[in-house]
């Protein structure tokens, strides 16, 4: 990253966001998600976005209010994000949302992979 940043701040930024938007898949994603997304990310065919910050919480994960509820076959995300980095060109968005606990504690945060309109 230091070499990238020395030559191009934008290249370093893009590299970092790819890591943020794909790291959760690598660490805890299902085998299906890994198979579907990680090879595309590695080849540069899929671009990741990352949504953590919120209007009232900033980037303080413990203060996050965006919530996700299980609706049977899917989760419904309810909340607002700011600075959704790279979403205008991304094929998937990694959105952080609270699945348990309450704002003020740092527990119960889950990463949700949401394909965007750019997904192929």
Average pLDDT, the chain: 84
Average pLDDT of the residues in 41-48: 86
Measured between alpha carbons, how far is 36 from 115 in angstroms, rounded to an integer? 11
97-113 pLDDT, tens per residue? Answer: 999 877 776 678 999 99
CB-based contacts of 96: which residues, under 8 Å, 6+ apart? 51, 52, 61, 64, 66, 109, 110, 111, 112
Measured between alpha carbons, how far is 46 from 23 in angstroms, rounded to an integer? 14
Average pLDDT of the residues in 35-61: 89
Q: How far is CA 49 from the centre of its chain?
A: 6
Q: Determine if the pTM surpasses 0.75.
A: yes
Angle at 53 between CA 21 and CA 64, to 5 degrees: 110
């Amino acid at each position: 990253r230091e070499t990238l940043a020395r030559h191009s701040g934008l290249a370093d930024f893009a590299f970092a966001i790819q890591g943020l938007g794909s790291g959760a898949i690598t660490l805890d994603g299902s085998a299906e998600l890994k198979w579907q997304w990680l090879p595309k990310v590695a080849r540069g065919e899929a671009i990741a976005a990352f949504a953590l910050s919120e209007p009232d919480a900033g980037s303080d994960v413990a203060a996050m209010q965006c919530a996700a509820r299980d609706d049977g076959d899917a989760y419904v995300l309810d909340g607002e994000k700011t600075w959704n980095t790279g979403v205008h060109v991304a094929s998937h968005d990694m959105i952080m949302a609270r699945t348990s606990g309450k704002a003020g504690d740092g527990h119960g945060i889950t990463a949700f992979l949401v394909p965007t309109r750019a997904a192929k």
